[in-house]
Chain A
Amino acid sequence: MLDLGIDVLFKGSNMLRLLSGLWVAMKISLVSILISLPLGVLVGALMTVKNRVVKVIFRVYLEIIRIMPQLVLLFIVYFGTTRALGWNLSGEVASVIVFVLWGTAEMGDLVRGALISIPKHQFESSEALGLTKRQTYIYIIIPQTIQRLIPLSINLITRMIKTTSLVLMIGVVEMLKVAQQIIEANRMTSPNAAFGVFLIVFILYFLVCWPISMLARYLEKKWNIA
């Protein structure tokens, strides 16, 4: 039989190490998501205000963050700011900073999109029914916005989890790095380990992201959002 080197993972604590590498990546994305969701809601709400200056400032922030590859942002924060400001950031902290900046921008855009997608007649009808501005928001606008937002933000979560694979490049020991170490350590005994180990990494990422994507799609279908 063709030796694919999957057996390497069952030696010693290799599989456990790989999973703890996955946990490092998950932790970074979880923390970043928890911070950037509320911040994104705030930014998105601020972007719909009438004030020109506020709008322009957030627009510029959003465009700059979104046009740069996340890896470039990671480099800027990890190598750039440490050199320019003289502080010392660990790879983990640098990645959380970048993911929060990026996540907030993306989430802000989603919130803005959801808010302006509420048709004007919803506001007008509520007014005609005699609801106050506060009641309109609490009973009419916010529930609809949330329904549109939840599937989109779940998708953002999977994107963030996928992007955590990049933190390897700024020296964080996450799953891919552990995989490289395992392959390197077993180079002599199982030369084909690269196939098996990277296959498992591939499958593990899929197993994490797929259920989340499915949930987003299920909710979208259930609430019938086009």
Chain B
Amino acid sequence: MDIAFMTKYLPMYERAAVLTVKIGLIGIAFAILLGLICAMIQYHKVPVARQIVAVYIEISRNTPLLVQLFFIYYGFPKIGIMMQPETCGVVGLAFLGGSYMAEAFRSGLESVAKIQSESALSLGMNRAQVMRYIVLPQAVSVSIPAFVANVIFLLKETSVFSAISLMDLMFTAKDLIGLYYKTTESLFLLVVFYLIILLPVSLLGTWLERRVRYAGFGD
């Protein structure tokens, strides 16, 4: 291992990691928002919108992110929609993640037995209160494992961004391998940086799962 080489290109990896995390987090934030909207539409059985959401979920879950990105990045400009690679990454990640998040939230919402909201209503709570105090706390607790798994999954998926010429970690590694043929060093740094990004999320997820396990009380 060439330590001098690694220290020399460390800043390059740092910049790439920051970019990966930045686009990942923005994309995941939009995915959560999109997922929440979709889950709410499905939970409340809004007509028409519900069917659209169902179609969207099927399409998004059954195609790879790389293909979605290629379509957005290379295909869309042909019909007049131009986007920066960064925007493209965020849009792609949100499009993919939205459906996964929607499924996680929906299964959480559906896990709360109907009798609970009925009882709450009969106790004189209004709909907002039922959502806030009865349904959401339990739904969140059920959704957490799937939610954390999705966050990790989406962060991992950011690795394909290099295909649309975003200078992320993969791009940097591939670049250095091509330029200097320092394969071992480049790949070592790549793995280290992905671990730095992903391990804390994974540990945080395990902690969170234990922390909010309060659904199914009294079963």
- CB-CB contacts of A142-169 with B at 8 A, as 1s and 0s? 0000000000000000100011111011
Give A71 to B183 CA distance when docked, in angstroms.
15
**A75 x B174 contact (CB < 8 A):** yes
**B198 x A205 contact (CB < 8 A):** no
The closest CB in chain B to the CB of A210 belongs to: B62
Q: Is the interface of B mostly helix, strand, loop or mixed?
A: helix
For A58, the chain B residues whose CB sits under 8 A away are none
**A79 x B67 contact (CB < 8 A):** no
Q: Let me know if A176 is at the binding interface, CB within 8 A.
A: yes
Q: How far is the CB of A93 from chain B (nearest CB, A)?
A: 18
Give A75 to B160 CA distance when docked, in angstroms.
12
Interface residues of B in 36-82 (CB under 8 A from A): 58-59, 61-64, 66-68, 70-71, 74-79
Q: What is the size category of the interface that chain B forms with chain A?
A: 35 or more
Task: Identify the interface centre among A70, A179, A198, A199: most chain B CB within 10 Å of its CB.
Answer: A198
For A198, the chain B residues whose CB sits under 8 A away are 67, 70-71, 74-75
For A163, the chain B residues whose CB sits under 8 A away are 64
Q: How far is the CB of A193 from chain B (nearest CB, A)?
A: 8
Give A162 to B70 CA distance when docked, in angstroms.
14
> Which of B26-34, B83-91, B124-132, B187-195 forms contacts with chain A?
B187-195
Evaluate whether A75 and B187 lie within 8 angstroms (CB atoms) in the complex, with A70-B156, A206-B59 already known.
Answer: yes
The closest CB in chain A to the CB of B111 belongs to: A226
A176 partner, pick from B67, B173, B184, B187, beta carbons under 8 A: B67
**A165 x B74 contact (CB < 8 A):** no
Q: What is the size category of the interface that chain A forms with chain B?
A: 35 or more
Evaluate whether A168 and B78 lie within 8 angstroms (CB atoms) in the complex, with A72-B194, A76-B191 already known.
Answer: no
For B209, the chain A residues whose CB sits under 8 A away are none
B187 partner, pick from A79, A164, A202, A205, beta carbons under 8 A: A79
Interface residues of B in 153-187 (CB under 8 A from A): 156-160, 162-163, 170, 173-174, 177, 183-184, 187
**B64 x A205 contact (CB < 8 A):** yes
For B183, the chain A residues whose CB sits under 8 A away are 79-80, 83-84
**B177 x A192 contact (CB < 8 A):** no
**A67 x B67 contact (CB < 8 A):** no
**B74 x A194 contact (CB < 8 A):** yes
**B184 x A83 contact (CB < 8 A):** yes
For B159, the chain A residues whose CB sits under 8 A away are 69-72
Give A165 to B96 CA distance when docked, in angstroms.
15
Q: How far is the CB of A226 from chain B (nearest CB, A)?
A: 9
Q: How far is the CB of A24 from chain B (nearest CB, A)?
A: 15
- CB-CB contacts of A62-73 with B at 8 A, as 1s and 0s? 000001111110
Q: How far is the CB of B205 from chain A (nearest CB, A)?
A: 11
Q: Let me know if A4 is at the binding interface, CB within 8 A.
A: yes
Give A120 to B172 CA distance when docked, in angstroms.
51
For A162, the chain B residues whose CB sits under 8 A away are 62-64
Residues of A within 8 A of B (CB): 2, 4-5, 67-72, 75-76, 79-80, 83-84, 158, 162-166, 168-169, 176, 179, 183, 191-192, 194-196, 198-199, 201-202, 205-206, 209-210, 213
Query: 3 tightest A-B contacts by CB?
Result: A69-B159, A209-B62, A165-B64
